[in-house]
Structure 1
Amino acid sequence: MNNLEHLAATSVTPTPEPPDRNPLLEALGRGEAVNIFDLGTLYITTNGKVKGDTPQTATIPGFQVKFTCSKITNDAVSALGIKKIVISDSSPIIGTKTDLFTGEEGTAFSAGKAIRIEGRHLKISGDDGGIFFAHATEKGESDSDEAKWIKVSRIIRNVSKILEFFLPSELETGVPYCIVLKTNSTFGKATRKTYSLACSNPVTIAG
């Protein structure tokens, strides 16, 4: 093997040069505060409380970067106003009601059979939640005495847009009732501490 062949066999691929380093990151790495185009300042602080009196004895829970806005940044947003406030309401909304025995929509249902309610935010949850039948008043509103409400015990479908359940056997034919939904469900699997109520228009049970 001649010298050229020996050099070719033992040559090593040169290590690529590191990419250009960011001077802002280098300054932060030295623990310096950095001004960001006069918008504010990035600075280093501890990630929690430091225990100890000297650098040798102190226990430092790591470091983090924080940002303080400058006056011109705060001034830029100080004139913003609010045109509209939208509050997300997750209360149940009762829509159509269908007798699953006859397939008809309406307000009269077959005694002891299953019915379907369609709407929004219908899912029942919570220990005190449920589907109830309350006697309707002369004004078409539900009786406010919850102790007299008749609770549905057989729910066969319980999702946000659809409820399906069997009518309780205690319901009397020809008597007007309001269907009351009581739930603490909000969105998805989330719940709240308080309960929301929704009441239907009066319905009746056919014999």
Structure 2
Amino acid sequence: MAAKSNLMDSIENPNGRVSVKLQRNYFSKDSSDKYVGRIVRNTHTVGNVIQLVANKVPQLDIGTVYSVCDAFEKVITESLGGGNSVNCLNLGVFYIACKGSTDGSSFSPNITVKFIPSELTKSAISNVTVEHESYSEPAATISRIVDIDSGDDDGNLSLNGSVQILGKKLLIGGEGGGIWFAPATGETASIDESGTDWIPVTAKLSVNKPGTLLFPLPKSLSAGTYRIVLKTRCTSNLKYKRKELVSTVSDAVEIK
């Protein structure tokens, strides 16, 4: 349990309102208007909870409340460790469950802990309302583009060299996925969105991970200004594919 120095942490009160982040659901059959939501959590710390309990029973000093809660924590974990399910003060039941699948003839399944909220717990949020919604698209984020020959990330890439792209959600895969160099023109480095003049990366990617891509530049590239276009149906795992392609376009780079 948290140290007693945390008991007086500030307690935020959202007044029965939560914020929700919505992201387009590319796994839906009709992803054009389907979103999945994620609540932005406002978490009470252990110290917050102990302080709130002490406020409910002012005849007890906070040290006593801490000791009782500490003992309660031990009872819960020791009961689970003994292979039991535990009713947590009518808030719900912690229970041991199998995790994933296994070849039952030769292996035992992995186990985990799950929680089933009680009707009391579920009814506690019946009046909670959504205060704010924000929308985001699951596009990749490019943080750095590194020229392997020089080690620089100043936007210059060596002709016939290799490039490393660092960021988030970069994993390339799925039908129509790939990497292209799109010729860029003008002061704003605009590209032809039809893709007719894009030059594909045909070599096998040396590294293809959500946070890192590493690959040689196409041999057909000539010196000039380009934007790197990434297209993928993957999330963070090659096994899971979105229904639609997600595209990301880099800042302009110079091939020299």
Using the size of structure 2 for normalisation, the TM-score is 0.48
User: What letter is aligned with 1:91?
Assistant: A
Instruction: Quote the offset at 1:205 in angstroms.
Output: 1.0
Superposition pairs of residues 1-207 of structure 1, within 5 angstroms: 77-85=125-133, 89-138=137-186, 139-154=188-203, 155-173=205-223, 175-189=224-238, 190-206=240-256
Question: Whole-Å Cα distance in 1 between the matches of residues 231 and 206 of structure 2?
Answer: 17
Structure 2 gaps of 5+ residues are 1-89, 91-118
Question: Whole-Å Cα distance in 2 between the matches of residues 195 and 170 of structure 1?
Answer: 25
What SS does the aligned partner of 2:196 have? helix
Structure with greater Cα Rg: 1
User: What letter is aligned with 1:132?
Assistant: W
What SS does the aligned partner of 1:82 have? strand
Question: Whole-Å Cα distance in 1 between the matches of residues 134 and 237 of structure 2?
Answer: 20
Deviations, residues 77-135 of structure 1 (Å, cap 9, x unaligned) = 44221134466753111111111111112211111111101000001001211010011
User: What letter is aligned with 1:99?
Assistant: D
Question: Whole-Å Cα distance in 2 between the matches of residues 90 and 188 of structure 1?
Answer: 14
Structure 1 gaps of 5+ residues are 1-36, 38-68
What SS does the aligned partner of 1:171 have? coil
Q: Is the 8 A contact 1:141 1:201 kept in 2?
A: no
Question: Whole-Å Cα distance in 2 between the matches of residues 77 and 109 of structure 1?
Answer: 54
| Aligned-residue CA RMSD (Å) | 2.6
Using the size of structure 1 for normalisation, the TM-score is 0.59
Question: Whole-Å Cα distance in 2 between the matches of residues 123 and 150 of structure 1?
Answer: 19
Shift of the 114–82 alpha-carbon distance from structure 1 to 2, 3 Å rule, reads: same
Q: Is the 8 A contact 2:171 2:236 kept in 1?
A: no
Question: Whole-Å Cα distance in 1 between the matches of residues 162 and 125 of structure 2?
Answer: 57
Aligned sequence identity (%): 30
Instruction: Quote the offset at 1:146 in angstroms.
Output: 1.5
User: What letter is aligned with 1:141?
Assistant: S
Paired residue total: 137
Q: Is the 8 A contact 1:107 1:202 kept in 2?
A: yes
Question: Whole-Å Cα distance in 1 between the matches of residues 169 and 213 of structure 2?
Answer: 10
